[in-house]
């Protein structure tokens, strides 16, 4: 019962990874605020029944849960989520920022509306809920924020400029929160999940290579993500903050963060010509290739 007596908010918990995290938290002893607007993958057609269905499953198993159908993209809605935790259960110990939408498209075809909508749900959503939770965490002198990022942002993927930008932005947001809130024992970490869910079911299959990739994704179950999130939300993870993890079936990876990899120096300073003749040839062997996520995680999931 790693989360016994804790209260956890999970956004986007009406299905997939979020649902499995909510169920795992409840099985581990937590009272859970299950947030989901019940929207389609693109963020349309809201129906609040998804959150209540997960609450019913938790309570039928003897757990404690309450539903919330506000949008993470709305600051007032985020404040109501936090309020649901403190009003129903008296406290809040962890927020799992899992809610997300997809509006994929190649950059040269992407509309402002599709870019804006994805940024608002993922990046603004993570800010809104974390910012709304900050006063509660400060008063309690502790708390855990767990943000779902993606290798689409950490590494790269085709036709996902909006999603990739939001997910890499979440890494920077998480690190800043970890630095700013450490004096109040607030931790902030990221998890990049590999799992077959509604989000990944949107992947276009138009080649044998893509078909093989999707077949591998189908093997990776969303419930495999929950144990790490449960740990990070618990007191057992009290010393873990500012980190980025990836979970792929039974594999857990610690991801690196941007650091210098090579340097060149010229005492007299640089010109365009000497950059071309000296700096770039010296640095080129250390360039990061135009990889996508599947190139880096090229082996079968274990």
State the number of CA atoms in the 13 A half-sphere of 47 facing the CB: 7
| Closest of 247, 124, 238, 246 to residue 188, by C-alpha | 238
Residue 291: φ, ψ to 5°: -75, 155
SS3 165: helix
DSSP characters over 24-61: HHHHTT-EEEEE-----TTS-S--THHHHHHHHHHHHT
| Closest of 100, 93, 91, 89 to residue 35, by C-alpha | 100
Q: Is 231 a catalytic residue?
A: no
d(CA 298, CA 110): 28
Q: How far is CA 85 from the centre of its chain?
A: 21
d(CA 218, CA 196): 5
SS3 72: coil
176 contact partners, CB below 8 Å, separation of at least 6: none
Tell me which of 89, 163, 231, 245 is the catalytic residue: 163
Helix (H) or strand (E) holding 75: helix 75-89
3: left (phi over 0), alpha (psi -120 to 50) or beta: alpha
Could you list the active site residues?
163
């Amino acid at each position: 019962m790693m989360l016994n007596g804790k209260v956890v908010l999970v956004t986007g918990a009406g299905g997939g990874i979020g649902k499995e995290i909510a169920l795992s938290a409840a099985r581990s002893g937590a009272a859970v605020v299950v947030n989901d607007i019940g929207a389609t993958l693109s963020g349309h057609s809201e129906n609040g029944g998804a959150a209540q269905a997960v609450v019913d499953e938790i309570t039928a198993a003897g757990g404690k849960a309450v539903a919330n159908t506000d949008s993470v993209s709305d600051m007032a809605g985020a404040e109501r989520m936090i309020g649901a935790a403190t009003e129903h259960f008296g406290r809040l110990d962890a927020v799992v920022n899992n809610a997300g939408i997809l509006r994929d498209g190649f950059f040269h075809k992407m509309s402002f509306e599709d870019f804006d909508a994805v940024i608002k749900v993922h990046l603004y959503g993570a800010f809104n809920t974390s910012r709304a939770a900050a006063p509660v965490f400060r008063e309690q002198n502790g708390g855990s924020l767990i943000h779902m990022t993606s290798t689409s942002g950490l590494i790269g993927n085709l036709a996902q400029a909006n999603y990739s930008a939001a997910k890499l932005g979440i890494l920077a947001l998480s690190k800043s929160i970890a630095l700013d809130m450490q004096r109040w024992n607030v931790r902030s970490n990221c998890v990049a999940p590999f799992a077959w869910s509604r989000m990944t079911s949107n992947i276009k299959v138009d080649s044998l290579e893509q078909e093989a990739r999707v077949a591998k994704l189908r093997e990776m179950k969303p419930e495999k993500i929950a144990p790490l999130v449960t740990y990070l939300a618990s007191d057992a993870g009290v010393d873990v903050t500012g980190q980025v993890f990836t979970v792929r079936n039974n594999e857990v990876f610690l991801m690196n963060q941007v650091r210098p990899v090579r340097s060149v120096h010229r005492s007299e300073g640089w010109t365009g010509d000497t950059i071309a003749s000296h700096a770039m040839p010296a640095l080129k062997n250390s360039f990061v290739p135009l990889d996508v996520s599947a190139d880096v995680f090229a082996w079968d999931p274990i």
